[in-house]
Structure 1
Amino acid sequence: MQLGMIGLGRMGANMAQRLQRGGHAVTGFDPTPEARARVAAEGIATVESLEALVASLDAPRALWMMVPAGAVVDATIDALQPLLSAGDALVDGGNSFYKDSQRRAEALREAGIACLDVGTSGGVWGLAEGYSLMVGGDAQAAARLSPLFQALAPAPDRGWGHVGPSGAGHYAKMIHNGIEYGMMQAYAEGFAILERKRELTPDIAQLAEIWRHGSVVRSWLLDLAAEALVQNPGLGGIAPYVPDSGEGRWTVAEAIELDVAAPVITQSLIERLRSRDDDAFADKLLSALRNAFGGHGVKRD
């Protein structure tokens, strides 16, 4: 099957490689010449413009976007739409907000173009291990593109599925990432407690390895934690600063809107925000209040 891949960052490039290895003809476009060169070195055809990309594909066309969520997605669709025809299909495999995906799908539907929102999980390991794909949008278009999903997934019969109408794929990925926040926070806190009492558990990397096999807390995230602790037991050189991609925020906002209690996911997001506060004004005020009402000592800078 022919596919045009838009966005040749690390994940887009890996997906293009996996698809080509699965027997699909992939042509890639990225506005950055360096990104195109890296993909071309892997034997994947590239072009220098969206116009050339669309022209290289036979109708009905299939194009897959792996570009940053937000304005870049809208700008890419605006540039593509005049080049596309009824019957073509456009996939957004990035982390777009699901309501944006619903809006875009409705606008493209009027032109006869199917827009599938595909929540994509797998990160840098997807090339070797396969990707988890949550497909939202028109069921007929999803069925037509199913050979692509089968090639990208860990196996043709698992790790992917059509999960609902437009917006469903990105909605599912949003909640997936919210769950991921909570799981990562739990591992981080548990290992922090272990690390604080090294005289009792001196080798926490060994403990992580033990837990990987047979334990009820085993997971791929634990596998990655165990590897990180072996390579860098003290985590030296890593700043205690944790970014967020936005999906955790969206999950918490959705939980509030739906009156669903989500304290673990919410607190994991708060901890990420807290990690970025170099000045920690709130902690300074807490210390001042303790001193004011109880005469407790204040630690000076």
Structure 2
Amino acid sequence: MDIAMIGLGKMGANMAERLHRGGHRVIGVDPGEAARDSAATRGFEVSASIADALAQLPVPRVVWLMVPAGEVVDQTLAALSPHLSEGDVVIDGGNSYYKDSMRRAEQVKGEDVSYIDCGTSGGVWGLQEGYSLMIGGETAAVERVGAIFRTLAPGEDRGWAHVGPSGAGHFCKMVHNGIEYGMMQAYAEGFALMQHKTAFNLDLAQVAKAWQHGSVVRSWLLDLSADALDRNPQLDGIAPYVEDSGEGRWTVAEAIDLDVPAPVITLSLLERLRSREKNSFSDRLLAAMRNEFGGHAIKTR
């Protein structure tokens, strides 16, 4: 199957390479010369122009978007629109908000183009291990491009699912990432607790490796934690600052909207926000209040 992959960042380039290895013709599109040059060494074709790439592919075509969520997706669709033809399929494999994906599906339907939202998990390991794919869209369109999903997934019959209509794929990926927030926070707190038990002088990498086999808490996140602790036991040089890319916030907002309690995911998001406070006003006010009502000592800087 012939595919235009728009966006040759690390994940987009890895996906394009996996598709190329799987026998698909891929033309990678990116405005950045460095990204194109790097991608060109992987064996698939590259182009700086959406129009040029689509002109080289037979109609109907498959266009896979791997661009940042938000306005960039709409801008890319606007640039694509004059070059799309009846029967083309556009797949958004990024982390778009699911309601935006529903809107975009309706938008291109008037042009007789199918829009598929594909929540994609696997990170930098997806090239070797395959990607977990959560797919939303019309059944006929999903079935028509099924060979692409089977190539990207860990196996033809595992790691991918057509989960529902337009928006369902990105909705499931949103919740997936919210769960990921909670799991990561639990691991981080548990290992911090062991690190503070100085009387036992625990080797945290050793503990993590023991948990990798037979334990009910084993997971890929634990595998990655074990590797990180093995390389850098004290995590030297890593600042205690944790970003979030939006999906956790959307998950919490959706939980509130649906009246579904999600305290673990919500607190894990708040902990990420807390990690960014270098000079917490709330903590300083807490210290001041303790001093006011109980005369407790205040530490000064």
By the TM > 0.5 criterion, same fold?
Answer: yes
Matching residue of 1:161: 161
Percent identity between the two aligned chains: 62
1:278-293 equivalences in 2 (<5 Å): 278-293=278-293
Matching residue of 1:265: 265
Matching residue of 2:223: 223
Aligned residues: 301
> Shift in Å at residue 47 of structure 1?
1.3
Which has the higher mean CA deviation after the structures are superposed, 250-259 or 46-55? Answer: 46-55
**Aligned-pair Cα RMSD in Å:** 0.6
Matching residue of 1:5: 5
Matching residue of 1:186: 186
Deviations 1:226-279 (A, max 9, x none): 000000000000000000000000000000000000000000000000000111
Distance in 1 between the 2:47 and 2:55 partners? 10
- TM-score scaled by length of structure 2: 0.99
Which has the higher mean CA deviation after the structures are superposed, 198-207 or 260-269? Answer: 198-207
1:84-233 equivalences in 2 (<5 Å): 84-233=84-233
Q: Which runs of 5+ in 2 are unaligned?
A: none
> Shift in Å at residue 42 of structure 1?
1.1
- Name the SS for the 1:119 alignment partner: strand
The letter for the 2-side match of 1:74 is D
- TM-score scaled by length of structure 1: 0.99
Matching residue of 2:73: 73
Moved >4 Å (runs of 4+): none
> Shift in Å at residue 199 of structure 1?
2.3
The letter for the 1-side match of 2:140 is Q
- Name the SS for the 2:28 alignment partner: strand
Distance in 1 between the 2:111 and 2:144 partners? 18
The letter for the 1-side match of 2:36 is R
> Shift in Å at residue 201 of structure 1?
4.4
- Name the SS for the 1:199 alignment partner: helix
Distance in 1 between the 2:40 and 2:252 partners? 41
- Name the SS for the 2:117 alignment partner: strand
> Shift in Å at residue 202 of structure 1?
2.0
Deviations 1:45-72 (A, max 9, x none): 0112010011011011001000000000
- Name the SS for the 1:261 alignment partner: coil
Q: Which runs of 5+ in 1 are unaligned?
A: none
